Amino acid sequence: MAKTAQKGGEKRGAKGAAKAYDASSITVLEGLEPVRKRPGMYIGTTGPDGLHHLVWEIFDNARDEAMGGYAGDIEVALLPDGYVRVADNGRGVPVGIHPKTKVSALETIMTTLHAGGKFGGDESGYKISGGLHGVGASVVNALSEHTKVVVHQDGGQHMQEYKIGKPLAKVKKIGTTKEHGTIVFFKPDATIFKEGVEWSWEKIVTHLRQQAYLVKGVRIALIDARAAKDAFETDTLFLREQKLNVPSMTFYFEGGLKSLVAFYNKHQTPVHKNIFYVEREQDNVQVEVALQYVDDITSRIAAFANNTYNSEGGTHITGFKTALTRALNTYGRSANILKEKDENFTGDDVLEGITAVISVKLPEIQFEGQTKAKLGSVEAQGAVSTVFGEALSAFLEENPDDARAIINKVLLALKARKAAKAAKDSVLRKGALEGMTLPGKLADCQTKSAEEGELFIVEGDSAGGSSKQGRDRRTQAILPLRGKILNVERARIDRMLASIEIRALVIAMGTAIGDVFDISKLRYHKIIIATDADVDGAHIRTLLLTLLYRHFRPIIEGGFVYIAQPPLYKIVKGKSVAYAYSDKEKEAVLKELGTATGEISENPLEGDEALEEAEGEVVATKKATKVNIQRYKGLGEMNPSELWETTMDPTRRVLKQVSIDDAEAADRIFDILMGTDVASRKSFIQSNAKLANLDV
């Protein structure tokens, strides 16, 4: 072996000496080159989420001015040609020469990583900042084909432009002004964001509304000027002053998190009248908490650190849960609502039906990971536990009616937990979880590999029969459901598991449910909902998605849930067979076949034979080939071969993967559609009726 390796080395040397691996081999990326080389490291992804992250980064700079008390107005505008404009009436980015870089401070901030007002310890910088690395403006600049900054400051307007992060000229004065603030224009680079530069109005509205709640007393406006027909001046501080005839929204909340909890509970029935709220500083950590219990079994907790949403929670959530459990147990015992015979409330008991928002602000903040999804600052845990625990205990003493309603709600959760545990123990025995007693209606697949396994959830015995015959038995399992499953939006686990259909699905998936849920036990990595293309099928699909979202959310988040897209039409002309998945596609197929409307028949035809009646009997005569169109109302109408080639064959089928782009919005939609608020559901249906594609 040693000789072989040596000979190989000699051969390479014959063609030219291999380049030595020394100091000169190390590549050094200068300026903003690292950002363009690895954009995902800075914005997470170059897809739609990363694209919108650019807006958040520039907005955060304006918001930090507001958090510091220097700005009261922020305006975000979507402009033609993919541009975004963010303006604030803060102090304005300094335009003087920076002592270290020897260029304008504005240019330094826009072209240098880790430059900004977030690192200095003096009073002129930000005491509290949403940014972690101070890279926001420079990253956006690097990933934009064109950026322009206009600063209103000390009576003058100053401007600098950039191309993919590099200044086109020095900062120059372009006029006079009586205003103060900063305007940033940027156009994302389409060569970086290859999926397209398409701004989502709904996504931006949701984010800015949330931020307006978090920075109370600050006015945040959003303007959609993408289709503006009239010319307008872009260098004036706020576009709204020009009274443009374009869509706009403005958010302004004095109540802060208290208002946010009320917004979250808009479609819920509160258990108690007064919303709990506290705002106080402890050990240099600003703590703000609001909560209210509602008549529901789902908990909704949103956590923020320096106004950045922490989807995975963190130390502030830990402190909150500890203090909540301790305070409610203490009050329940002292008020004699929680009897001696009762066990203490657990963390799960006190969280049932709670809507809470926790926000902390720290001078020095630490997150776990680049995306800031989880707060790691240890001091936040103690500060939240102390501030929230003391304030909640006082709230319970001062509001006895609210306190009794809360304790009774939690006591109900405790009793339900015991009942649910008994139900789970009786249904989900160890053998069932390990697949030894799988439901009889399940036609399981042969493979034991979850990565290969697919579970088709079909509607009714008819579709079940066809799919069982047409499937690939090695990898595809079939579970037929009879009728509509229970709406689990407000059902506890014990009631859910009393349903034969839900119990069969839970056991088939193998993960168990509730506190014993284990996604590593998932038996299939594709859970495919295959219901009929009618109103009943859509309802069953919604009920299944409600079940999966409320009790098996990690399965959706893991990308394991899909919706099958069976065809609506089978089109036959002679020996040619085509399937169409929509009316538009049907018209395209007919056009491709060169078929006029008059040539379409509703009766099956074979080959080039056309059927006609002659003197009481049916005879075949040679005629121009007509087209037969069969409209599928359900999977049960397909024979096994049709079902395989259209819906189950991995090489030809169409599947839609279910994802949760905005968990907050998804939660609200499920509340409206599947909850008990009839008025809200009616309003939602009326508002969105025009979007429905009905087959009546």
Q: Which residues are catalytic?
A: 459, 532, 534, 536
DSSP letter string over 414-464? HHHHHHHHHHHHHHS-HHHHTTTT--TT-B--S---TTT-EEEEEEHHHHH
The residue length of the chain stands at 696
How many CB atoms are closer than 10 A to CB 106? Answer: 25
Reference 219, options 185, 252, 176, 173; nearest CA is: 252
Radius of gyration of the chain (CA): 31
Cα 304 from Cα 375, distance rounded (Å): 9
Torsion of Cα atoms, 18 then 23 then 26 then 30, to 10°: -140
Q: Is the separation of the CB atoms in 65 and 59 below 8 Å?
A: no
Cα 658 from Cα 545, distance rounded (Å): 9
The alpha-helical segments, DSSP class H, found in 482-534 are 493-496, 500-509
The alpha-helical segments, DSSP class H, found in 89-145 are 105-111, 136-142
Cα 325 from Cα 322, distance rounded (Å): 5
Q: Is the separation of the CB atoms in 304 and 360 below 8 Å?
A: yes
Tokens representing 220 are 């945040």
Cα 72 from Cα 62, distance rounded (Å): 10
Q: Specify the amino acid at residue 558.
A: G
Cα 53 from Cα 60, distance rounded (Å): 10
Q: Specify the amino acid at residue 543.
A: L
Cα 123 from Cα 101, distance rounded (Å): 21
The alpha-helical segments, DSSP class H, found in 335-377 are 347-351
